[in-house]
């Protein structure tokens, strides 16, 4: 009872404290507090002193943060940049027919040898370069950034989703954070990204992860939660430990949903890569931006189409794999 | 020695079961507790003991707590109060590691909707319990193959569960449960999702298997005919309370309360009652004049025969049944009088 009362009391206390802080830190406050009572005109328009100094706090905090921990970001920066560059170099070095063949092979096997999908994806891949020869290397650059971004999403997202599915408390704590990540305008974290990592591909990856990881986390959580309780009970009844249950039953059965999450993650990452061209990330988005700046409608459309094609290719690859698992678990009668 | 002993188990579902427990112990029923506290009473002071090698059937309608009860035995659910002894060990006292070991070695479970792993083939499903026990791959395939043959599913090893019919899936469930060679088999409405013909076939298969294996089986059902057919003992649950425990004949002939009466009202008694239950003992039998009756119309039957088999003889040929025990000695007689008493519904 007392504990509950204390929790309820905390919020008014914080609120009052914020009021006092905002009043004290404001430069445009009245000369004395008494004036507030004698002159109630501040009730008409929002008073200048009623303002939480959040901006100042964040700026100060960020500055200190940057000075103290900048070195670690440097390391992360170098590591990620190295990964992207080597992946990009490798893909660009490969002859383009070989890359197309590779994509076709991946689709063929991940879709369970579906010929239609495979041919379609092969044609789409070919048309990326066919639209404009310059697009081939750009598409590879975009893809490299995305692959690294999605890998990070998977490394963060799936374990987070698993943790959420296991505890309601963790879920309640993480859900609002995911909401925040999905709703906050992307420029709000693109800019600090630049300040920490400099212009280029790395802040784009960070932005991609922030933007694209929520659906993966949600769908992993959902996928595991949706696994039939009787099947889970069956595993438990045979004495499966938590680890055996997770790896042997929950994850494999949640895999179609997780693959859907990775698919969503890919699509959102692609959208973000285009936006990230505005902070100097090179790639297909860069071409769209250039077309717009030059009022070259044809060029922008061409680049836009190339992005759509890339999206189709990536979508089909991830979808096909999820579908294959789904079919195995629930074969059509 | 009893294999499983359940002592005064209480289970209350809700945010604060401990606070509601005294109220339930004071005799408040399920509805009152729900109304006053919002908690659901799953089990209310249930005590029973199950002997080694018998089929104990736990019967009740949905919401009577029977599935909750069976999950206490392997501790998929923890009781609010009370203890469950299996082989004289209190399962609630086991720690995390011990309980896993206990589930692996001592018992396995069959589920109403089969609970098969849709991403594993039939043979992988059957071998799951062994996989958890870390039995080597080839050994567990061998055992699983044997179990698949035992339930008559040869040739389906590499199919996925969704490719099989309901009856076949439940056979996989049964084979999977038997593959670990457990002492105790828990069957949670195992045959309820099957259609009547398949169900009856599976019941016969279980009876046959049990004759060979002599496991201790706890069987949950809402079907009285099924419980009478399978059970050595039957426990009837209502609203979380155990209202009657007894042999099938006891339940039919002496229903403990109106709830049980309503249950047994429409049952086919001739399929449940045995000759020895309805006969008049030979020393008390006086109407029978041996010289007046044609000896050819006296039939000898074993005392464990269901009276279903005797009805045509008695009614059609007006014959008298001589009931004999295993050694061949006459223990009693049955005529149309005995049958009419036995087959009359209790009011």
B191 touches chain A (CB under 8 A): no
Nearest-CB residue to A237 (from B108, B116, B133) = B108
What mean pLDDT is reported for chain A? Answer: 88
pLDDT at A76: 87
A233 touches chain B (CB under 8 A): yes
Q: Supply φ then ψ for residue B235, to 5 degrees.
A: -115, 130
Give the model confidence (pLDDT) of B267-284 as tens digits.
878 777 888 777 887 777
Could you tell me the pLDDT band of residue A127, with boundaries at 50, 70 and 90?
A: very high
pLDDT at B259: 86
Q: What is the mean pLDDT of residues A86-91?
A: 92
Asked casually if ipTM beats, i.e. exceeds, 0.90, the reply is no
Q: Which residue has the higher pLDDT, B340 or A262?
A: A262
The reply to whether residue A331 touches residue B74, judged by beta carbons under 8 angstroms, is no
Give the model confidence (pLDDT) of B181-191 as tens digits.
999 999 998 88
Could you tell me the pLDDT band of residue B130, with boundaries at 50, 70 and 90?
A: very high
B118 touches chain A (CB under 8 A): yes
pLDDT at A333: 43
pLDDT at A324: 77
Q: Which long-range contacts (CB under 8 A, 24 or more apart) does B316-323 make?
A: B320/B288, B320/B293, B321/B275, B321/B279, B322/B298, B323/B275, B323/B276, B323/B279
pLDDT at B228: 87
Strand boundaries in chain B, DSSP class E: 2-13, 40-51, 55-59, 81-86, 89-90, 107-110, 184-188, 216-221, 233-238, 241-246, 280-281, 298-302, 320-324, 330-334
Q: What is the mean pLDDT of residues A23-33?
A: 80
Tally of CB atoms within 10 A around B43: 29
Taking the model in full, what pTM does it have?
Answer: 0.81
Rg (CA), chain A: 26
Q: Which residue has the higher pLDDT, A184 or B333?
A: A184
Q: Supply φ then ψ for residue B55, to 5 degrees.
A: -100, 115
A46 touches chain B (CB under 8 A): no
CB A201 within 8 A of CB A81: yes
- Taking the CA of residue A245 and the nearest CA in chain B, the distance in Å comes to 10
Lowest mean pLDDT among A149-153, A218-222, A317-321, B156-160: A317-321
Classify residue B262 by burial, with Cβ atoms within 10 Å: 0-12, 13-18, 19+.
exposed
Asked whether the predicted pLDDT for residue B291 surpasses 50, the reply is no
The reply to whether residue A331 touches residue B163, judged by beta carbons under 8 angstroms, is yes
Could you tell me the pLDDT band of residue A317, with boundaries at 50, 70 and 90?
A: confident
- Taking the CA of residue A157 and the nearest CA in chain B, the distance in Å comes to 23
Asked whether the predicted pLDDT for residue B28 surpasses 90, the reply is no
B19 touches chain A (CB under 8 A): no
Q: What is the mean pLDDT of residues A234-246?
A: 92
Which residue intervals of chain A bear CATH 1.10.3720.10? 70-329
Q: What is the mean pLDDT of residues B62-73?
A: 89
The reply to whether residue A239 touches residue B111, judged by beta carbons under 8 angstroms, is no
Nearest-CB residue to A238 (from B108, B112, B116) = B108
Give the model confidence (pLDDT) of B190-200 as tens digits.
888 888 888 89
Asked whether the predicted pLDDT for residue B317 surpasses 90, the reply is no
Could you tell me the pLDDT band of residue B286, with boundaries at 50, 70 and 90?
A: low
- Domains along the sequence of chain B with CATH: 275-343 (3.10.580.10)
What mean pLDDT is reported for chain B? Answer: 86
Give the model confidence (pLDDT) of A283-303 as tens digits.
888 888 899 899 999 998 999
- Taking the CA of residue A322 and the nearest CA in chain B, the distance in Å comes to 13
The reply to whether residue A330 touches residue B104, judged by beta carbons under 8 angstroms, is no
The reply to whether residue A253 touches residue B119, judged by beta carbons under 8 angstroms, is yes
User: Quick one: DSSP state of residue B107?
Assistant: E
pLDDT at B32: 87
Q: Which residue has the higher pLDDT, B295 or A267?
A: A267
Q: How many CB pairs under 8 A join A and B?
A: 74
Q: What is the mean pLDDT of residues A265-278?
A: 87
User: Quick one: DSSP state of residue B165?
Assistant: -
CATH fold of A70-329: MetI-like fold (1.10.3720)
Asked whether the predicted pLDDT for residue B215 surpasses 80, the reply is yes
A315 touches chain B (CB under 8 A): no
Asked whether the predicted pLDDT for residue A274 surpasses 90, the reply is no
Q: Which residue has the higher pLDDT, A138 or B1?
A: A138
Nearest-CB residue to A239 (from B71, B103, B117) = B103
pLDDT at B279: 82
pLDDT at B252: 85
Q: What is the mean pLDDT of residues A12-21?
A: 90
- Chain A's closest residue to B73, CA to CA, is A237
Provide, as residue numbers in chain B, all residues whose Cβ is less than 8 Å from the Cβ of A252: 119
- Suggest the residue from B86, B106, B128 to mutate for an interface test with chain A (most A CBs closer than 10 A): B128
- For chain A, give the percent of residues with pLDDT over 70: 98
CB A316 within 8 A of CB A117: yes
Provide, as residue numbers in chain A, all residues whose Cβ is less than 8 Å from the Cβ of B74: 237
Asked whether the predicted pLDDT for residue B89 surpasses 80, the reply is yes
Could you tell me the pLDDT band of residue B325, with boundaries at 50, 70 and 90?
A: confident
Q: Tell me the CB-side half-sphere exposure of residue B158, using CA atoms within 13 A.
A: 0
């Amino acid at each position: 009872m007392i504990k509950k009362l204390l929790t309820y009391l905390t919020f008014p206390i914080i609120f009052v404290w914020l009021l006092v802080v905002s009043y004290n830190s404001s430069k445009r406050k009245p000369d004395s507090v008494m004036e507030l009572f004698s002159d109630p005109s501040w009730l008409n328009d929002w008073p200048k002193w009623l303002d939480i100094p959040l901006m100042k706090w964040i700026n100060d905090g960020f500055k200190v943060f940057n000075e103290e921990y900048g070195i670690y970001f440097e390391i992360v920066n170098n590591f990620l940049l190295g990964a992207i560059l080597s992946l990009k170099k490798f893909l660009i070095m490969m002859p383009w027919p070989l890359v197309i063949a590779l994509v076709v092979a991946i689709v063929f096997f991940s879709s369970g040898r579906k010929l239609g999908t495979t041919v379609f994806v092969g044609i789409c891949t070919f048309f990326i370069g066919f639209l404009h020869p310059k697009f081939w290397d750009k598409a590879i650059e975009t893809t490299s950034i995305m692959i690294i971004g999605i890998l990070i999403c998977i490394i963060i997202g799936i374990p987070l989703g698993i943790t959420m599915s296991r505890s309601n408390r963790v879920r309640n704590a993480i859900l609002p954070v995911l909401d925040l990540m999905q709703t906050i305008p992307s420029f709000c974290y693109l800019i600090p990204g630049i300040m920490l990592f400099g212009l280029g591909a790395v802040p784009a990856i960070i932005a991609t992860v922030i933007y694209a990881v929520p659906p993966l986390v949600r769908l992993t959580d959902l996928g595991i939660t949706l696994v039939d309780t009787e099947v889970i009970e069956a595993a438990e009844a045979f004495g499966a430990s938590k680890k055996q249950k997770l790896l042997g039953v929950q994850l494999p059965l949640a895999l179609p949903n997780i693959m859907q999450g990775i698919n969503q993650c890919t699509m959102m990452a692609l959208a973000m890569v285009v936006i990230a061209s505005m902070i100097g990330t090179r790639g297909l988005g860069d071409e769209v931006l250039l077309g717009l700046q030059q009022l070259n409608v044809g060029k922008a459309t061409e680049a836009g189409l190339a992005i759509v094609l890339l999206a189709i290719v990536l979508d089909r690859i991830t979808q096909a794999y999820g579908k294959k698992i789904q079919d195995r678990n629930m074969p059509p009668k | 020695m009893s294999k499983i002993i359940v002592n005064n188990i209480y289970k209350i579902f809700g945010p604060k079961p401990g606070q509601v427990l005294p109220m339930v112990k004071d005799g408040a029923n399920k509805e009152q507790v729900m109304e006053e506290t919002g908690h659901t009473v799953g089990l209310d002071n249930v005590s029973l003991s199950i002997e080694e090698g018998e089929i104990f059937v736990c019967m009740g309608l949905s919401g009577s707590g029977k599935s909750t009860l069976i999950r206490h035995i392997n501790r998929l659910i923890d009781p609010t109060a009370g203890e469950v002894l299996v082989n004289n060990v209190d399962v609630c006292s086991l720690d995390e590691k011990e309980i896993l070991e206990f589930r692996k070695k001592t018992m396995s479970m069959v589920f109403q909707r089969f609970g098969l792993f849709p991403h594993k083939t039939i043979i992988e499903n059957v071998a799951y319990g062994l996989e958890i026990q870390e039995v080597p791959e080839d050994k567990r395939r061998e055992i699983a193959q044997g179990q698949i043959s035992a339930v008559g599913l040869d040739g389906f090893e590499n199919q996925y569960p969704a490719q099989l019919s309901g009856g076949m899936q439940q056979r996989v469930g049964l084979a999977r449960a038997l593959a670990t060679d457990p002492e105790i088999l828990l069957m949670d409405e195992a045959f309820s999702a099957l259609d009547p013909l398949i169900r009856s076939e599976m019941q016969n298969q279980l009876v046959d298997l049990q004759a060979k294996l002599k496991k201790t089986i706890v069987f949950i059902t809402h079907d009285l005919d099924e419980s009478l057919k399978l059970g050595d003992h039957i426990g009837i649950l209502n609203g979380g309370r155990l209202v009657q425990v007894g042999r099938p004949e006891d339940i039919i002939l002496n229903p403990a309360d109106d709830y049980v009466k309503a249950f047994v009202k429409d049952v086919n008694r001739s399929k449940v009652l045995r000759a020895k239950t309805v006969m008049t003992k030979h020393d008390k039998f006086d109407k029978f004049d041996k010289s007046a009756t044609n000896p050819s119309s006296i039939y000898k039957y074993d005392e464990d025969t269901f009276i279903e088999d005797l009805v045509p003889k008695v009614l059609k040929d007006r014959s008298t049944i001589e009931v004999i025990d295993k050694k061949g000695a006459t223990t009693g007689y049955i005529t149309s009088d005995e049958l009419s008493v036995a087959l009359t519904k209790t009011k």
